[in-house]
Amino acid sequence: MENQNIVKKLLPRSWRTQAMHERYEEGRQSDVKNPSVCPLCEAKTIEKFEHWRIITNKYPYDAVALVHEMIIPIRHCVEKELNEAEIAEYTELKQSVLNQKYSHIFEALPKSKSIPGHHHLHLIIPKIVG
């Protein structure tokens, strides 16, 4: 358990620069004060589909990613509430649009999600190091 707490504290910092991590922590405090507003529902849309949209990530993993956006269902829901049409469209997008634009799709597990009430996946193009 102690090791999990260490990883939870270190991992986000290793993915974000210190400045972005501080912005993220400030934003999380603001979100806690206004829980009726979903930051993902309010995020700027980059591309919209029938059931999904790609959004800007306000707090990207800027230490490791050239591009870090997110894909979310348009309908405010958690993963287990996705309907057949939403799942089918996501599967199609993953094989086409997402595969063409991004290198990786990341999903935090429920215990680590900063926004657990709205399903979201992280779309990444990593920085090449070395």
Amino acid at 91: T
Is a pLDDT exceeding 90 seen at residue 4?
Answer: no
CATH code where residue 11 lies: 3.30.428.10
Residue given tokens 């996705």 in the structure block: 82
Q: For residue 96, what are the CA distances in angstroms to 8, 20, 31, 92, 124? A: 33, 31, 33, 6, 15
Output the CA torsion 49→52→55→61 (10° steps): -130
Closest CA to 35 of 120, 119, 122, 118: 118
Q: Where in the sequence is the domain holding 122, given as residue range(s)? A: 2-126
Selected residue with higher pLDDT from 113 and 126: 126
Minimum mean pLDDT range among 5-14, 54-63, 68-77, 103-112:
5-14
Which tens digits make up the pLDDT trace of 11-56? 555 789 999 999 988 888 876 667 778 999 999 999 999 999 999 9
Question: Where is 69: in which H helix or E strand?
Answer: strand 65-73
| Domain total of the chain | 1
If you search the block for the tokens 């190091």, which residue do you land on? 129
Taking only the tens place, the pLDDT of each residue in 71-97 is 999 999 999 999 999 999 999 999 999
